[in-house]
Amino acid sequence: MGKLDGLGGDKVFYFFEEICKIPHGSENEMALSDYIVAFAKERGLYCRQDAHYNVFIKKAGSKGYENAAPIILQGHIDMVCEKNAGTELDFLTDPIEIYAEGDFIHARGTTLGADDGIAVAYILALLEDDTLAHPPIEAIFTVEEEIGMGGTRAFETFDVEGKRFLNMDTEEEGVLLSGCAGGRRVRVYLPAERSDSPVGKKAYQISIRGLKGGHSGADIHLQRANANRLMGRILYMLKEAVDFSVASVDGGNMDNAICREAGATVLFAAENEPTVRELLGKWEKMIQEEYNSCETSITITMETLQEEVFKVLTEETKNKLIHILLLLPYGVQTMSMEMEGLVESSSNIGIVKTTSEHIYFDNAVRSSVESRKELICQKIYSIASLCGASVEDVNDYPGWKFNPNSPLLKLFAKTYGEFYGKEAEISAIHAGLECGLFSEKILDLDMVSIGPEMHDVHTPDERLSISSTIRVWEFLKEVLKKMDH
């Protein structure tokens, strides 16, 4: 018996549970890719797996739909791997521990991977069921979406015939997406110049925890705190109060997740410990008050380290580190003037890591306006230049221009009204989808994106609505049935 047995939705939840059993974080997708290939071969379907572990499957149209125009169904097979402190799970080898409670599916202390495992489950369920009415299906499963869409960049389209494209990477039922932001990952490298630890100073670990985090695109408008930015503030204020050194600063694991936890190893004279603890308590209350409408559990703690720290950052490097953390753009930068409530541009300081050679800062920059995306990047370049740091741009991807006149969108909207008895919301999203890259690869592509209700993706609080998943499944079957034949 599976943990999700009896929930309904035909075999959607069966496949979702199977996916959760297979480790599939970004750059660790081979096992899940091989599972999908084996699935296709067992059913005699055309299947192509490329060297990057993208998979392409074709299924003929059902009776009466044999000559209909194909529909491309697409989702990504990688997931964001985030877990709470103290959760013992190895994302490289261990299955996600899922459970159902009320209307939601959760994971125990980790991300669930409903983004975008539920899309994979939907597509496999469609390919499995020979009783459904549908046009020819072309299924594309991509890798590395969460770390810059590397799978889509590498995917070849020589055997793709469809011009209608359904992306299934949306997290809000009732919203039909026809546009998304473009983005770029910008990494700042600050040389980690070091000196011997000062004599007579003790080592401490300052930790910021309890933040909600979230998706750095879809949740950025919620104005949640970023632990990396908060650490910059704490260190700046501490610099004004006591003499201290920094050995390292680390926070976050993914540039497209709002950083929930950060830590800094600092050294100062033992007699300053009461003062520092008092200040941290004061600043904790200040920050809790600032974010009281969107954060409920921010904590700032300090523990004494027993191990000896032999090297610290030079005073100049420490100051540059603090300046960079304070000045890097974070949060909403501009709002759309064309669509009310839509974030146009944003930036997220997702990762800060100290290595032997550098301290690096990974930033996820997004905008639906290319020139404004470039402006945010220019600000990051300028901050880096002023602080003697270098910059590397990685994984620039285009936006998907909003198209309110899409024939596919109109079909989905009409069917939605008939199925739900109300109008769907037609919109664009600030998060990045693979649609922009696919529209460059396949000319005249008509695209829509849908998905079931899920919350707090890219965090250990991620959860997937069971009832919404079933409704979207039934709606999807209805749309496929209504496609020309």
CATH class for domain 184-397?
A: alpha beta
Q: What is the CA radius of gyration of the chain?
A: 24
Mean per-residue pLDDT for 194-216? Answer: 96
Cβ atoms of residues 140 and 72 within 8 Å: yes
Reported as a pLDDT band with limits 50, 70 and 90, residue 338 is confident
Number of neighbouring beta carbons within 10 Å of residue 286: 13
Give Cα separations from 273 to 37, 300, 367 (angstroms): 59, 15, 44
User: In this model, does residue 214 exceed pLDDT 90?
Assistant: yes
pLDDT tens digit string along 96-119?
999 999 999 999 999 999 999 999
Question: Which residue has tokens 């669509």?
Answer: 339
Question: Mean pLDDT score of the chain, rounded to an integer?
Answer: 96
Which CATH code is given to the segment(s) 12-181+399-482? 3.40.630.10
User: In this model, does residue 465 exceed pLDDT 70?
Assistant: yes
% of the chain at pLDDT higher than 70: 100
Out of 17, 144, 145, 462, the active site residue is 145
% of the chain at pLDDT higher than 90: 94
- Give the pLDDT of residue 306: 92
Give the domain ranges of the chain: 12-181+399-482, 184-397
Among 428, 476, 58, smallest CA distance to 218 is for 428
Strands 164-167, 446-449: parallel, antiparallel or unpaired by DSSP? parallel
Q: Is the torsion defined by CA of 407, 446, 136, 171 positive or negative? A: negative
Does the active-site annotation cover 171? no
- Give the pLDDT of residue 485: 65
Query: What is the Cα–Cα distance from 34 to 29, expressed in whole angstroms?
Result: 9
pLDDT tens digit string along 341-379?
999 999 999 999 999 999 999 999 999 999 999 999 999
Among 366, 352, 354, 430, smallest CA distance to 395 is for 366
User: In this model, does residue 61 exceed pLDDT 90?
Assistant: yes
Query: What is the Cα–Cα distance from 106 to 126, expressed in whole angstroms?
Result: 24
- Give the pLDDT of residue 148: 87
Mean per-residue pLDDT for 161-171? Answer: 97
Cβ atoms of residues 482 and 419 within 8 Å: no
- Give the pLDDT of residue 123: 98
Out of 17, 18, 29, 78, the active site residue is 78
User: In this model, does residue 1 exceed pLDDT 80?
Assistant: no
Does the active-site annotation cover 94? no
Mean per-residue pLDDT for 472-483? Answer: 97
Number of neighbouring beta carbons within 10 Å of residue 310: 10
* Structural tokens at position 84: 């709470």
Number of neighbouring beta carbons within 10 Å of residue 304: 10
Query: What's the 3-state SS for the chain?
Result: CCCCCCCCCCCHHHHHHHHHCCCCECCCCHHHHHHHHHHHHHCCCEEEECCCCCEEEEECCCCCCCCCCCEEEEEECCECCCECCCCCCCCCCCCCCEEEECCEEEECCECCCHHHHHHHHHHHHHHHCCCCCCCCEEEEEECCHHHCCHHHHHCCCCCCCCCEEEECCCCCCCEEEEEECEEEEEEEEEECCEEECCCCEEEEEEEEECCCCCECCCCHHHCCCCHHHHHHHHHHHHHHHCCCEEEEEEECCCCCECCCCEEEEEEEEHHHHHHHHHHHHHHHHHHHHHCCCCCCCCEEEEEECCCCCCEEECHHHHHHHHHHHHHCCCEEEEECCCCCCCEEEEEEEEEEEECCCEEEEEEEEEECCHHHHHHHHHHHHHHHHHCCCEEEEEEEECCECCCCCCHHHHHHHHHHHHHHCCCCEEEEECCCCCHHHHHHHCCCCEEEECCCCEECCCCCCCEEEHHHHHHHHHHHHHHHHHCCC
Phi, psi of 327 (to 5 degrees): -100, -20
Please return the burial class of 355, using the count of CB atoms within 10 Å of its CB with bins 0-12, 13-18 and 19+. exposed
The answer to whether 12-181+399-482 and 184-397 have equal CATH topology is no
Reported as a pLDDT band with limits 50, 70 and 90, residue 484 is confident
Q: Which amino acid, 453?
A: E
